[in-house]
Amino acid sequence: MELRDLEYFAVVAEHGNLRRAAEALDLSQPALSKTLRRLEQAIGAKLVKRTPKGVELTTVGTAMLQHAQRLQLSRDDITREVADLSQGRVGYLRIGTGPGIAEDLLPATCGALLQNTAKVSFNLTVATNDVLVPALRKGEYDLIVSGIPSTPHEDLVQEPLYTDEFAVFASVRHRLAKRKSVSIADLSQERWALSATNVVSWRALHNVFEVHRLPPPCVALQSNLTSVRLQTVSCSNLLSFDPRRFMKQAARRLPVTEIRVKELAWSRPVGVSYRRNAYVSPLARRFIEILKATAKEIEDEKR
């Protein structure tokens, strides 16, 4: 069995069509078919079956694809590790992060690493966990910094950093801003500036309204940029549901305040995640150390 044949098979599985896979690999279709037959002969089983639209994986093919993907990730890890060792290269980090975290925790961490480490470079992508976690598994990121679930992913190492406490925020001129007691029912007619629907805080807020048999929050502004939401809230009658630490920072320059609603006391753990048993470069380990130190500062500020 040749590694190249496995790589070609993975491309066939990705495209579900021999012609398109051959074009992607810059091969002739007969040549690609030959490598596929050679791989099937080596394992003694069919990997694909023909369909009117192209090819589909057999049960054996599905299992083989998982092995091929793991081999590809292992090869990529080996290549990066050897390059770090042989070239004395400080490195390049590919980091995925969740909305909000990118505006606070990550800039401070990247800045600290840049000050103390020469020739480091980053590729920083902001997305939600439904995008970040699958991409991390595929090896597209070295690590991600985002909210971590209560049930851990078995194939990932997830190290907690701090806990984000969420609360309702409004302009200091909002009609509810001066009230000492606000219930969830008092918010049923308000309009909101919220994150995208695939963000866990959005779901948490909607769940509370649903539990109390209230209509869902009326969204007037939807954005994954926390700073945009808070700035809009500061000059309007909209409400937001965001981390309390952002409000404290924003209140230094914006006329915003917290509206305490006991039914909306919600928090989430934030952590750094990377693939279990994958190569973690010295640069990535140093980055995680600085992340933890920065997160500790955030936790200390809350006390």
* pLDDT digits 0-9 by tens, 72-115: 766 666 666 566 555 444 578 899 998 778 777 888 888 888 88
The mean pLDDT value for 286-297 works out to 88
HSE (side-chain half, CA atoms, 13 Å) at 235: 6
Q: Per-residue pLDDT for 62 more than 60?
A: yes
Between the alpha carbon of residue 108 and those of residues 103, 132, 249, the distances in Å are 9, 21, 14
Extract the tokens encoding 227. 């700073």
Rg of the chain over all Cα atoms, to the nearest angstrom:
24
161-216 pLDDT, tens per residue?
988 889 999 999 999 998 988 999 999 999 999 988 878 889 999 999 999 999 99
Question: 199: which residues sit within 8 A by CB, 6+ positions away?
Answer: 98, 99, 128, 224
pLDDT of residue 252: 86
The pTM for the full model equals 0.66
Can you give the length of the chain in residues? 303
Instruction: Express as a percent the part of the chain with pLDDT over 70.
Output: 91
Answer yes or no: are the C-beta atoms of 194 and 219 closer than 8 Å: yes
What's the pLDDT score for residue 10?
A: 82
Whether 256 shows a pLDDT value over 50: the answer reads yes
When comparing pLDDT for 31 and 87, which is higher? 31
**Residue 89 pLDDT:** 45
pLDDT of residue 134: 93
The whole-angstrom separation of Cα 288 and Cα 292 is 6
CA-closest candidate to residue 215, choices 190, 242, 182: 190
pLDDT at 255: 94
C-beta pairs of 294-302 under 8 Å, 24+ apart in sequence: 294/105, 294/108, 294/109, 294/112, 295/105, 295/161, 295/162, 295/270, 296/162, 298/104, 298/105, 298/162, 298/245, 299/162, 299/163, 301/245, 301/248, 302/165, 302/244, 302/245
Q: What is the pLDDT of residue 88?
A: 42
Alpha helices in 175-281 (DSSP H): 200-211, 226-234, 244-250
Within 10 Å of residue 49's Cβ, how many Cβ atoms?
10
DSSP three-state, residue 272: strand
- To 10 degrees, the CA torsion angle through 171, 127, 288, 93? -130
Region 150-160: what's the mean pLDDT?
Answer: 89
Q: Residue 300 above 80 pLDDT?
A: no
Q: What is the mean pLDDT of the chain?
A: 85
